[in-house]
Chains A and B, each alone.
Chain A
Amino acid sequence: MANPNSAATDDELIAAAADGSDVAFASLVDRHADAAFRAAWLVLRDTDDARDAVQEAIISIHRSLYRFRRGEPFRPWLLRIVGNRARNHLRAAGRRGRATGRAAAEPMRAAASPSPEAMALHLERRQAVLAAIEELGRDDRVVIGARYFAELSEAETAALLGVARGTVKSRLSRARARLREQLTRAGVEVTDA
């Protein structure tokens, strides 16, 4: 049975939530929880830290709803706050680059194929691509993950990273170049299919 709030726009939910409706705020969180968590995870590569960062962002947003400019897209605003919280976590942990001195960052994983026999080669290539991404620096991994895996728009990625859209373009271009080098060195073959 569908949530009756599912037809409401973000603006309508924000207006209702700002007016005191906890149900509307819950619906708003539900709608954007996946995007927020995945974005935080891309930055932090740790489920618990990502959950904490998003939880803090939710509390912050709840307090700031009255300030949100209606008519503007909500998700970039959310992702900006999530990105800030995630970077706060990084700074607090004193992390730079990959995690050291503690458990390694959670790796990017390919989902299981429904037909492993038929997809064996395909899966192997996917794993190789993900392994090559793992070898990149943090900033490269995050911008590639945001644009290709979390499917954030350029504006949303810019909000998450706290940079201008032009910066996202240039970071992505450099990240792709470095990934290309990794994949070529790894001998990843590409078909035209």
Chain B
Amino acid sequence: MHDRRLDDAALDRLLADASHGFAFPPTPTFALPARRASASRRLVVALALGILVALAAASVAAGALGIGPLRVIFTDQPPEQLAPPASASRLALGRLTTLMDPAIGVPLLAPPDLDVPQAYVSADGARASLVWGSTAELPPAGASNIGLLVMAISGDMDRAWLEKLVDAGLVTIEDVTVRGEPGLWIHGPHVLRFRHAGADGDEASRLVGDALVWSDGTTLYRVESGLGRDATIALADGMMPVRR
């Protein structure tokens, strides 16, 4: 057995080396309390506070609206100040890939009668997006040249979360039913921010237009389109699982 004394410098080297490889558990998502606005100010109130309270109390994905890892926050800042308009090259969707990429860790849905989309996946596979360019049948969604975007996000609260930052004066939010599940139709420009918890936490935010959101209990789905509410819901109702 070695009996070699460790001096301070040697101990420091060992600890410094250990710290380089040390792995904390991933930082989870924290619910944020909100204030009630005074009558003289524009609203700064978290929508669906029940979701935030449920998350804080039980740390489960389902909230008052059953929309998985989504929270919607009202802000009095114009959306343009929170994120500039997105372009196709700045969608911050992750890595361009193929539908068959095994790194995609969420079940995908897509309309059965459209061309093959571009596929994107986040670094940890917890978020994947299918993107179709705008055409005569798919008018531009929001300020980009996207015709349709279908995003799937893992419902695991410790891995990913979404925020929608909405200006109460510009955006309406409506309860809808999508594929038999409760959903939200968000009409108007707002900022989408998403991140994945973990040592290499990835955060991105962008300005988006109308969006339809629902959860099937394990996966959160977002659809961005320029088709309007009824047509977007019909499109979502008719989507089929992508076989991979």
A71 touches B (CB below 8 Å): no
Contact between B15 and A129, CB atoms less than 8 A apart: yes
A151 to B73, CA, bound (A): 32
B1: A residues at CB distance < 8 A: 187
Of A34, A59, A110, A129, which contacts B14 at CB under 8 A? A129
Residues A136-156 near B (CB distance < 8 A): 144, 148-151
B15: A residues at CB distance < 8 A: 129, 144, 148
B206 touches A (CB below 8 Å): yes
A2 to B139, CA, bound (A): 28
Q: Fill in one digit per residue for A48-92: 1 if any B CB lies within 8 Å of its CB, else 0.
A: 101110110011001100000000000000000000000000000
Given known A1-B83, A37-B27, A129-B17, contact A184–B201 (CB-CB < 8 A): no
* Interface, chain B (partner A; CB < 8 A): 1-6, 8, 10-11, 13-19, 21-25, 27-28, 30-35, 37-38, 41, 44-46, 56, 59, 73-77, 81-84, 86, 90, 92, 163, 165, 193, 195, 199, 201, 203-206
Contact between B82 and A23, CB atoms less than 8 A apart: yes
Beta-carbon nearest neighbor of A173 in chain B? B8
A95 touches B (CB below 8 Å): no
Complex A-B: 23 CB contacts under 8 Å: A1-B90, A4-B81, A4-B82, A30-B203, A34-B201, A47-B28, A51-B59, A55-B31, A58-B30, A58-B33, A59-B33, A62-B32, A109-B22, A109-B23, A113-B21, A125-B14, A129-B15, A149-B18, A151-B19, A184-B3, A184-B5, A184-B6, A190-B14
Contact between B193 and A41, CB atoms less than 8 A apart: no
Given known A149-B19, A151-B19, contact A41–B33 (CB-CB < 8 A): no
Total A-B contacts with CB atoms under 8 angstroms apart: 139
A29: B residues at CB distance < 8 A: 30, 32
A122: B residues at CB distance < 8 A: 17
Beta-carbon nearest neighbor of A133 in chain B? B18
Of A23, A144, A188, which contacts B75 at CB under 8 A? A23
Contact between B35 and A22, CB atoms less than 8 A apart: yes
Contact between A22 and B4, CB atoms less than 8 A apart: no
Contact between A1 and B205, CB atoms less than 8 A apart: yes
The distance from the CB of B208 to the nearest CB of chain A, in whole angstroms, is 12
- Give the interface centre of A41, A50, A51, A58 by most chain B CB atoms within 10 Å: A51
A33: B residues at CB distance < 8 A: 27, 30
Of A37, A38, A148, A183, which contacts B6 at CB under 8 A? A183
The distance from the CB of A152 to the nearest CB of chain B, in whole angstroms, is 12
The distance from the CB of B75 to the nearest CB of chain A, in whole angstroms, is 5
